Amino acid sequence: MPPSSSSRKSSPENEYAMSLAEADMSLDNPHNATLDTTTTTTTHHHHHSFLHSSPSPSNNKSTAAAQPLFESSSNNNYSKWNVAEARMELRKASKITSTYGLKLSTKWICEQLIGLPPSPPPSSFNGTNHFFTPFEEENENDATLYAKSLLDLGEYERAALVLSSGNNASAVAGSTIPPPLEELSSLGFFIRCYALYMAGERRKGEDVEELREPLERTKLRNPNLTQLSHELYDYYTSGALDAFGLYIYGVVLKELQNTPSASSTTTKIRPSSSVHHAQDIVPPPSPHSILLQSILQFPYNWSAWLDLSELCVQDSTIHSDVEEVLRPILGHWMYHFFCVHLF
């Protein structure tokens, strides 16, 4: 079944914060959407959520960083609709996405909460064992908390520098950011990568404004993509990326794949470790495979679903792979949101 042409492009925090009822008519330019909620323009006639009705059943470098925030239940009985449990899941998910700085994904989650009918709390819901592993923001170090505050203020390069080795707050804008600090938590590493990506998007936007020729504008790309792809590759191969690290890695790979001038970069990825060998140059993983891993760990990140839908529209040959990998959650209502958006 071919995807609808109404599916739009997405990128991190692409975050087209809206209910699915409005998804096909209010999606923004992704590069405007990434910079800040103050620069995002969405069309909202009213808040609406599909969660007020029951979805149809389906037929079908630290060790802590690798722990999934989402865990499938033992019986995978997602098709049994429970409003109270859905509310609890969404409330927990909103706290996590907010902590990771995904403002518009958090807004999208909260819009679904507003659309749910009143219901008593579930009698036997266990948020730790059923869906989420423990998440304690207060355990983060001071540097991560400081970088998060800078990220929230849109000071992206400073946020990335705070979490980089030999950081220098007075570094010249546009200069190469040093490697990440050792032993960063999953949140710290994500914030650094996300801030670095956003800094590159801002710089690209500034460069676009200076060009008059449309063809020249299409050749511009985020200048931090290559550095990010190398660093994320190292963490990925060591199994240190959590759901959000996988998300930003998938976005970086997707952007490299979609950038004409980056064709040589997307063919081979060389790890950024200090020792390089000829065999270190290996093909990178596919963007959709990384996004799928992220979604399986944490299916409430709507931005990850949007990026995956864009890839499905671009390449129909991945449809069977996507459905097969998502089989464990085919009955989950987030998968239904994805199908409604895509088809």
Q: Give pLDDT tens digits for 185-218.
A: 999 999 999 999 999 999 988 877 777 776 666 6
| Contact between residue 338 and residue 304 where contact means Cβ atoms under 8 Å apart | no
Mean pLDDT across 26-47: 34
Mean pLDDT across 33-43: 34
In the chain, what are the helix, strand and coil shares in percent, each to the nearest 5? 55, 0, 45
**Residue in the structure block whose two tokens are 């963007």:** 287
Nearest to 20 by CA among 112, 132, 85, 84: 112
Distance, C-alpha 130 to centroid of its chain? 22
Residue 306 has which token pair?
């949007």
Per-residue confidence (pLDDT) for residue 290, from 0 to 100: 98
- The mean-pLDDT minimum among 88-97, 108-117, 164-173, 239-248 falls in 164-173
Q: Could you tell me which residues are beta bridge partners of residue 164?
A: 180
Residue 143: Cβ-neighbour burial (10 angstroms; 0-12, 13-18, 19+): middle
Q: What band does 279 get if pLDDT is binned at 50, 70 and 90?
A: very low
Mean pLDDT across 263-274: 45
Distance, C-alpha 309 to centroid of its chain? 13
CA distance 24 to 341: 7
User: Which of the pair, 332 or 212, is modelled with greater confidence?
Assistant: 332
Per-residue confidence (pLDDT) for residue 263, from 0 to 100: 44
Per-residue confidence (pLDDT) for residue 183, from 0 to 100: 85
Mean pLDDT across 51-66: 41
CA distance 171 to 161: 8
User: Which of the pair, 56 or 84, is modelled with greater confidence?
Assistant: 84
Q: 8-35 in b/e burial notation, b at 16+ Cβ within 10 A?
A: bbbbbbbbbbbbbbbbeebbbebbebbb
Which range is most confident: 169-173, 203-207, 258-262, 327-331? 327-331
Nearest to 253 by CA among 300, 288, 299, 304: 288
Per-residue confidence (pLDDT) for residue 175, from 0 to 100: 63
Mean pLDDT across 147-172: 85
Mean pLDDT across 82-90: 88
Distance, C-alpha 279 to centroid of its chain? 30
Is pLDDT above 70 for 258? yes
| Contact between residue 222 and residue 201 where contact means Cβ atoms under 8 Å apart | yes
| Mean pLDDT (the chain, rounded) | 74
CA distance 309 to 322: 10
Is pLDDT above 70 for 90? yes
Mean pLDDT across 111-126: 79
Per-residue confidence (pLDDT) for residue 53, from 0 to 100: 39
| Contact between residue 278 and residue 265 where contact means Cβ atoms under 8 Å apart | no
Q: What band does 77 get if pLDDT is binned at 50, 70 and 90?
A: low
Q: What band does 155 get if pLDDT is binned at 50, 70 and 90?
A: very high
Task: Provide the phi-psi class of 101: left if phi over 0, else alpha when psi is between -120 and 50, else beta.
Answer: left
Q: What band does 67 get if pLDDT is binned at 50, 70 and 90?
A: very low
Amino acid at 271: P
Is pLDDT above 80 for 291? yes
Is pLDDT above 70 for 66? no
Per-residue confidence (pLDDT) for residue 79, from 0 to 100: 53
Which range is most confident: 102-106, 214-218, 246-250, 332-336? 246-250
- The mean-pLDDT minimum among 179-183, 194-198, 269-273 falls in 269-273
CA distances from residue 166 to 161, 181, 250, 343 in whole angstroms, order as listed? 9, 8, 27, 48
| Contact between residue 34 and residue 156 where contact means Cβ atoms under 8 Å apart | no
| Contact between residue 144 and residue 188 where contact means Cβ atoms under 8 Å apart | yes
Is pLDDT above 50 for 274? no
User: Which of the pair, 111 or 29, is modelled with greater confidence?
Assistant: 111
Is pLDDT above 70 for 270? no
What share of the chain has pLDDT > 90, as a percent?
48
Per-residue confidence (pLDDT) for residue 259, from 0 to 100: 76
CA distances from residue 253 to 23, 55, 104, 224, 286 in whole angstroms, order as listed? 24, 32, 21, 12, 7
Amino acid at 210: E
CA distance 268 to 45: 46
